[in-house]
């Protein structure tokens, strides 16, 4: 048996954490199998060591959500319980080889994610074994989807407390401040591929709850400066559209217990011609460093529709559209 004591800021905080008529407290006790005793500004937790540790993680998550939103509801508590409790029976299995992934599931036990190509096998092995992974490859190779699958796996197993999704907003040629809505709404269009992957791997309602309770956070790259992210899986998508200084800034946000995954496609750089891609620079600088994996995928790793591979191969021949009134250049 283990006993732990949590010191709160005030009795008002205790009231908000426990819920109306201790509704949240009963939910936590039942889910984790622990004794929870409120003594003014102190919360005493008793039970099996693993359960007490889970309860401490849970209250840390709930206190963070309370500071952000000013109140809690039952759905937010249940979402935090899934993270703090671990639920190993629902952990996403990341196998390095085997058949393709079955159709997406909405709820219940999660599926096993398996590599379909040799390159994806190397990628999954790197995601499991290294704390920092840079993956470069063309569209359709699964680099973003597998990164999100790893993040979900770590979250469900309790290895991390949150997922942070980051993307440089350069494609639209607009500043975020001119887009409507709060910061989440502004950056949402740029993170759509990441949300699609999340909704493939988790129930959409659960994704919504995680966003509301800050278990899943979305952030523009510019907003990462000055932060240190502990116990998080941080994914930077479209890394080829970062500058060298932006990439260095992002990679140094890594805190204790965290994993950083950077994905990008070297053939889709939207930076001005005279600006060097941060992903290209990082791959050259960091390849071979201890604890860091650099994975390169190619057309052989494309797992979308077969036509995608043919289209990319055609564009890779160096042919350019003909000027009206002229013929296509012949291949040498």
- In tens digits, the chain (332 residues) has pLDDT values of 888 998 888 888 888 888 888 888 888 888 888 898 887 788 899 988 888 888 888 888 888 888 877 888 877 787 777 666 544 333 345 544 433 333 222 233 344 567 778 888 889 889 988 999 999 998 888 898 899 989 988 888 788 999 999 988 764 444 555 555 665 566 666 677 788 888 888 888 888 888 888 899 988 888 888 899 999 999 999 999 999 999 999 999 999 999 999 999 988 888 888 999 999 999 999 998 999 999 999 888 887 666 766 776 777 644 444 334 334 344 43
Residues with Cβ within 8 Å of residue 144, at least 6 apart in sequence:
193, 194, 197, 235, 237, 263
**CA of 238: how far to CAs of 77, 125, 131, 235, in Å?**
33, 21, 19, 10
Distance CA 53, CA 45 (A): 9
Beta carbons of 16 and 43 less than 8 angstroms apart? no
Query: Taking CA 128 as the corner, what is the angle to CA 127 and CA 134, rounded to the nearest 5 degrees?
Result: 20
Q: How far apart are CA 146 and CA 2, in angstroms?
A: 38
From residue 171, give the alpha-carbon distance in Å to each of 141, 143, 196, 285.
Answer: 21, 19, 18, 26
Task: Tokens for 136, please give them.
Answer: 């470069």
How far CA 261 is from CA of 75, 133, 226, 251, 322, in Å, comes to: 29, 5, 19, 9, 39
Q: Give the single-character DSSP code of 321.
A: P
298 backbone φψ class: left, alpha, beta (φ>0; ψ -120 to 50): beta
17 contact partners, CB below 8 Å, separation of at least 6: 8, 24, 25, 43, 59, 62, 63, 66, 72
* pTM reported for the whole predicted model: 0.63
């Amino acid at each position: 048996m283990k006993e732990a004591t949590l010191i709160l800021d005030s009795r008002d905080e205790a009231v908000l954490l426990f819920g109306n008529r201790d509704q949240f407290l009963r939910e936590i006790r039942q889910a984790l199998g622990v004794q929870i005793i409120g003594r003014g500004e102190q919360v005493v937790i008793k039970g099996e060591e693993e359960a007490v540790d889970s309860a401490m993680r849970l209250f840390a998550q709930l206190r963070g959500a309370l500071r952000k939103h000013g109140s809690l509801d039952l759905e937010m508590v249940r979402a935090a319980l899934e993270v703090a409790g671990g639920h190993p029976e629902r952990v996403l299995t990341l196998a390095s080889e085997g058949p393709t992934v079955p159709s997406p599931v909405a709820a219940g036990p999660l599926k096993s994610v398996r590599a379909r190509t040799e390159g994806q096998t190397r990628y999954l092995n790197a995601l499991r074994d290294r704390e920092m992974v840079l993956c470069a490859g063309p569209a359709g190779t699964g680099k973003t989807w597998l990164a999100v699958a790893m993040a979900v796996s770590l979250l469900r197993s309790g290895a991390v407390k949150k997922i942070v999704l980051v993307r440089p907003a350069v494609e639209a040629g607009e500043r975020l401040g001119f887009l409507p809505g709060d910061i989440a709404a502004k950056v949402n269009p740029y993170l759509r591929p990441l949300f699609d992957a999340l909704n493939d791997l988790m129930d959409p309602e659960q994704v919504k709850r995680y966003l509301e309770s800050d278990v899943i956070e979305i952030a523009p790259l510019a907003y990462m400066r000055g932060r240190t992210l502990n116990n998080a899986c941080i994914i930077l998508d479209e890394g080829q559209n970062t500058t060298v200084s932006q990439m260095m800034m992002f990679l140094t946000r890594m805190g204790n217990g965290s994993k950083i995954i950077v994905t990008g496609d070297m053939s889709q750089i939207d930076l001005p011609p005279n600006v060097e891609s941060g992903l290209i620079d990082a791959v050259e600088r960091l390849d071979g460093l201890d604890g860091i994996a650099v994975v390169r995928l190619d057309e052989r790793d494309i797992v979308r529709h077969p036509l995608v591979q043919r289209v990319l191969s055609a564009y890779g021949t160096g042919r350019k559209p003909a000027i009206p009134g002229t013929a296509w250049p012949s291949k040498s």
